[in-house]
Amino acid sequence: MGYWYTIAALTGINVILAYSVYSSFITGQVSLGQAAFFGVGAYVAASLTTLLDMNFFVAVMFGGMAGGLLSLLVGFPTLRLKGYHFTIATVAFAEATRVILHNVKFGRPKEDGAVGDRWLGPDGPVGFRHISYLNDHNISSGEFAVLVWCFVLVVVGAFIILERSRISILMRTISEDEVVARSIGISVAKTKIIAFACGGILAGISGGLYAHLLTFISGNDFIIHLSTIALAFVVIGGGQTLWGPLFGAIIFTLLPEIMRPIQSFRIELFGLLILLTMLFRPSGAISANWVRKIRFSLLRKQSVTNLRSATNKEN
Amino acid sequence: MMVFQACLDGLLYSGLYIMLGLGFFLTFSVLRRVDLSFGTVIMVSIYLASMAVSPSRFNILALLLSCLTAIIIGFFVGSICFGLVRGDPRNSMAATLGVWMALEELIIQLPGHGRGQFVENFLSNQGLNWIPSLRFDHTIIFFLAITTAFGLYLFLRYTKIGLAIRTLAFDPDTAALMGISRKIIVIIATSIAAAIGALAGYLFAMTQHGIDAHFGMWVTIKGLVILFISGATSIFGIIFAALILGIGERLLTELFGTTFRELIGMTLMCLIIAFIMGNNKKYRI
């Protein structure tokens, strides 16, 4: 059972990561730098709990803030870039951050432990070991999964509110046509930077959760593959509605686990699935049309029921 | 002396980067799409060619075979990801990501080859008589790269197909009005790109005595870096960007070590993209 709890927690973390990509995706920016924010969030949160014995929740929030600050730092000069230039700039940034994380070393010596394993904190290429907050505070994998999904609920709730607000329309207008957005008085740069920073915060939070789930992280965990997979969550799930990233992240995390009987070829099949989705459902698994149709049929059912009950009352 | 040697070594990398950049440049200019599977296709072709030929030790055949395989695989990948996948360019990019993942994993799981594939260096790695610090194979590769770039320039400048490629890259609507078949031109351009990429990849594998399964990712990242540093507007831009990257990387390695090479290189690239580039450009060849 513990295994499935871990998978559930990992799924939740991936959902938050997917929403971090989605946050800037709705303004039309494709970021491949989420691995950097995720990594920085992981290192910051893990350092705070391991070295300063900080409360887990506060540490994860600090991780999120670190991701957000970093995204602001990157966002200001790069968000004026158009098309692929922004994407490639984020690739370069993510790669530079990975190198830093891979080599960063701070912390303090650990009294117990085997020879060569007496360091608390990030230890350069060896990685960051002994992130044992969950173990030290007797938090089981089931409890941690519930905690992660609480974060997910908050994030999804926030996006539901956002989707129904005026800001969402502004963001989608920027994505459709920046010139039109400017002409109707939308502050394009400000909106883009806020969206990107929100993405950075979410990536940082998911990184903090990830570090505590795995108990060991190293700079090489945050390579460009992670960013591309996070982007795939959104593209495959569907970037037109807020349900797409949720669906994409859940399917993408669970499918390789369900496909364990054909373990050797699961990544190949996974890659093939991305290709097939792009071939047959380019707008992703959950498109805006699809959601509209479901909403419409639900409303129709409800109105028919209301009409019937009103007719019955009249009779 | 150390700086001089680093510059000489950097020339090898520059040569390889020129060819990789040219491959990416052709694909990007004609298709207006980023092909994330470019490096993986090259890697797979090198693996297959060297596995097929290595027992006979007829290495030039392996080189030619890897170019041919890259053209064939590249054709199929291009037809599916850029021909059949419609709509937003991001869809094609995501499709090539799927191909990248699938092919890379296939190579990792290749029995006996997942950890790497040995590629024999059939050129001498001794220093030249007149400049002992310059290796013979490095010199050949650099001149091959310059010849390829010059040959491509002449091809694009003075042939009808070259004119068609340039027109399509500059303005697809004008190309359509001129009766240029986009499909055929895309096939020709991507085939040339795959062949040049495979040539660069094989020569690099040869100098390093082999490649591993992550070689594809390296090729893709380097190709993208060169493409965007150059501004993707001309062959000379690609050569210039490749020279800066190749020599710059070696100098940074000498001065700061491998770790800081990547860090400084990527930060510089980020800054170049952020502060120098970024305006919408017409892609010319």
For B59-87, what is each residue's pLDDT tens digit? 788 888 999 999 999 888 888 888 788 77
Task: Sort out which chain B residues have CB atoms less than 8 A from A88's CB and list them.
Answer: 224-225, 228, 273
**What residue numbers bound the domain in which B97 lies?**
2-109+134-275
Nearest CA in chain B to A102: B259
Characterize the bridge pairing of strands A119-122 and A108-109.
Answer: antiparallel
Nearest CA in chain B to A263: B109
pLDDT at A195: 92
Task: Look at residue B284 and tell me whether its pLDDT is greater than 90.
Answer: no
For A61-89, what is each residue's pLDDT tens digit? 999 999 999 999 888 887 777 666 787 78
Give B124→chain A minimum CA distance, Å.
34
Question: pLDDT-derived band of residue A147, with 50, 70 and 90 as boundaries?
Answer: very high
pLDDT at B282: 47
Bridge-partner residues for B135, per DSSP? Answer: B127
Mean pLDDT confidence for B209-214: 81
Which residues, at least 6 apart from B269, have a Cβ–Cβ distance to it below 8 Å? Answer: A89, A92, B225, B228, B229
For B82-124, what is each residue's pLDDT tens digit? 878 877 777 788 888 888 888 888 888 877 665 667 777 767 6
Query: For B59-68, b where at least 16 C-beta lie within 10 A, e where not — what string?
Result: beebbbbbbb
Q: With respect to residue B283, please indicate whether it lies within any of the assigned structural domains.
A: no
Look at A152-156, B21-25, B128-132, B236-240 and tell me which has the smallest mean pLDDT.
Answer: B128-132
Query: Which two three-digit tokens encode residue A114?
Result: 């085997």
Q: At what angle do helices A224-237 and A84-103 cross, to 10 degrees?
A: 140
pLDDT at B280: 46
Q: With respect to residue B31, please indicate whether it lies within any of the assigned structural domains.
A: yes
Q: Give me the amino acid identity at A222.
A: F
Mean pLDDT confidence for A102-110: 86
CA A6 to CA A3: how far, in whole Å? 5
Mean pLDDT confidence for A130-142: 90
CB of A121 within 8 A of CB of A108?
A: yes
Give A300→chain B minimum CA distance, Å.
32
Starting at the earlier edge strand, list the strands of the sheet with A108-109: A108-109, A119-122, A128-129
Phi/psi at B243 (5° precision): -65, -45
Look at A95-99, A106-110, B271-275 and tell me which has the smallest mean pLDDT.
Answer: B271-275
Which residues, at least 6 apart from B56, have a Cβ–Cβ distance to it below 8 Å? Answer: none
pLDDT at B266: 73
Best residue of A78, A80, A84 to probe chain B, by most B CBs closer than 10 Å? A84
CA A257 to CA A238: how far, in whole Å? 22
Q: List residues in chain A touching B: CB distance below 8 A.
A: 30, 74, 77-78, 80-85, 87-89, 91-93, 95-96, 99-100, 102-103, 224-225, 228, 231-232, 235-236, 264-265, 267-275, 278-279, 282-283
What is the widest separation between alpha-carbon atoms in chain B?
Answer: 57
Task: Look at residue B279 and tell me whether its pLDDT is greater than 60.
Answer: no
Phi/psi at B265 (5° precision): -60, -50
Alpha helix ranges (H) inside B109-214: 136-158, 160-170, 172-177, 182-207
Best residue of A278, A280, A289 to probe chain B, by most B CBs closer than 10 Å? A278
Question: pLDDT-derived band of residue A120, with 50, 70 and 90 as boundaries?
Answer: confident
Cβ distance A91 to B224 less than 8 Å, yes or no, reads yes
CB-based contact, B111 to chain A, within 8 Å: no
Q: Give me the amino acid identity at B22.
A: L
pLDDT at B81: 86
Span A2-284: which CATH code?
Answer: 1.10.3470
CA B140 to CA B244: how far, in whole Å? 19
pLDDT at B254: 82
CB of A40 within 8 A of CB of A64?
A: no
Query: Which two three-digit tokens encode residue A29?
Result: 């920016």
Give A95→chain B minimum CA distance, Å.
7
Mean pLDDT confidence for B44-70: 84
pLDDT at A91: 82
CB-based contact, B97 to chain A, within 8 Å: yes
CB-based contact, B24 to chain A, within 8 Å: no
CA A75 to CA A297: how far, in whole Å? 41
CA A229 to CA B96: how far, in whole Å? 12
Which residues, at least 6 apart from A56, have a Cβ–Cβ distance to it below 8 Å? Answer: A49, A133, A134, A137, A139, A212
Work out how many domains chain B is built from and give that number. Answer: 1
Q: With respect to residue B265, please indicate whether it lies within any of the assigned structural domains.
A: yes
Q: With respect to residue B149, please indicate whether it lies within any of the assigned structural domains.
A: yes
What percent of chain B lies above the pLDDT cut of 90? 8
Task: Look at residue B15 and tell me whether its pLDDT is greater than 80.
Answer: yes
CA B88 to CA B91: how far, in whole Å? 6
Q: With respect to residue B121, please indicate whether it lies within any of the assigned structural domains.
A: no
Query: For A295-313, b where at least 16 C-beta lie within 10 A, e where not — what string?
Result: eeeeeeeeeeeeeeeeeee
Mean pLDDT confidence for A149-155: 95
pLDDT at B131: 66
Q: With respect to residue B115, please indicate whether it lies within any of the assigned structural domains.
A: no
DSSP single-letter state for residue B84: I
Query: Measured on CA atoms in the order B45, B48, B53, B55, is the torsion positive or negative?
Result: positive
Mean pLDDT confidence for A215-242: 86
Q: With respect to residue B116, please indicate whether it lies within any of the assigned structural domains.
A: no
CA A26 to CA A240: how far, in whole Å? 8
Cβ distance B98 to A231 less than 8 Å, yes or no, reads no
pLDDT at A146: 95
Q: With respect to residue B75, please indicate whether it lies within any of the assigned structural domains.
A: yes
Nearest CA in chain A to B278: A81
Q: Which residue has the higher pLDDT, A42 or B35?
A: A42
CB-based contact, B110 to chain A, within 8 Å: no
Task: Look at residue B283 and tell me whether its pLDDT is greater than 60.
Answer: no
Q: Pick from B221, B263, B270: which is nearest to A89 by CB?
A: B270
Count Cα atoms within 13 angstroms, Cβ side, for A224: 23
Residue with tokens 């149709």, as numbered in its chain:
A293
Question: pLDDT-derived band of residue B127, with 50, 70 and 90 as boundaries?
Answer: low
Question: pLDDT-derived band of residue A196, with 50, 70 and 90 as boundaries?
Answer: very high
Task: Look at residue B57 and tell me whether its pLDDT is greater than 80.
Answer: no
| Start-to-end Cα distance in chain B | 38
DSSP single-letter state for residue B80: I
Q: Pick from B86, B262, B280: which is nearest to A99 by CB?
A: B262
Mean pLDDT confidence for A173-194: 86
Question: pLDDT-derived band of residue B278, with 50, 70 and 90 as boundaries?
Answer: low
DSSP single-letter state for residue B117: B
The H-or-E segment that residue B44 falls in is helix B38-53
pLDDT at A36: 94
CA B6 to CA B249: how far, in whole Å? 9
Nearest CA in chain B to A84: B34
Q: Pick from B109, B224, B274: which is nearest to A81 by CB?
A: B274
pLDDT at B109: 81
Give A33→chain B minimum CA distance, Å.
11
Task: Look at residue A57 and tell me whether its pLDDT is greater than 80.
Answer: yes
Bridge-partner residues for B127, per DSSP? Answer: B135
As a whole number, the mean pLDDT across chain A is 87
CA A282 to CA A235: how far, in whole Å? 8
DSSP single-letter state for residue B82: I
- Can you give chain A as a three-state secondary structure string? CHHHHHHHHHHHHHHHHHHHHHHHHCCCCCCCCHHHHHHHHHHHHHHHHHHCCCCHHHHHHHHHHHHHHHHHHHHHHHCCCCCHHHHHHHHHHHHHHHHHHHHCECCEECCCCCCCCCEEEEEHHHCEECCCHHHHCCCCHHHHHHHHHHHHHHHHHHHHHHHCCHHHHHHHHHHHCHHHHHHCCCCHHHHHHHHHHHHHHHHHHHHHHHHHHHCCECHHHHCHHHHHHHHHHHHHHCCCCCHHHHHHHHHHHHHHHHCHHHHHHHHHHHHHHHHHHHHHCCCCCCCHHHHHHHHHHHHHHHHHHHHHHHHHHHC
pLDDT at A5: 92
For A231-243, what is each residue's pLDDT tens digit? 888 888 888 888 9
Question: pLDDT-derived band of residue A59, with 50, 70 and 90 as boundaries?
Answer: very high
CA A218 to CA B240: how far, in whole Å? 35
pLDDT at A277: 84
Task: Sort out which chain B residues have CB atoms less than 8 A from A240's CB and list them.
Answer: none
CB-based contact, B226 to chain A, within 8 Å: no
pLDDT at A313: 78
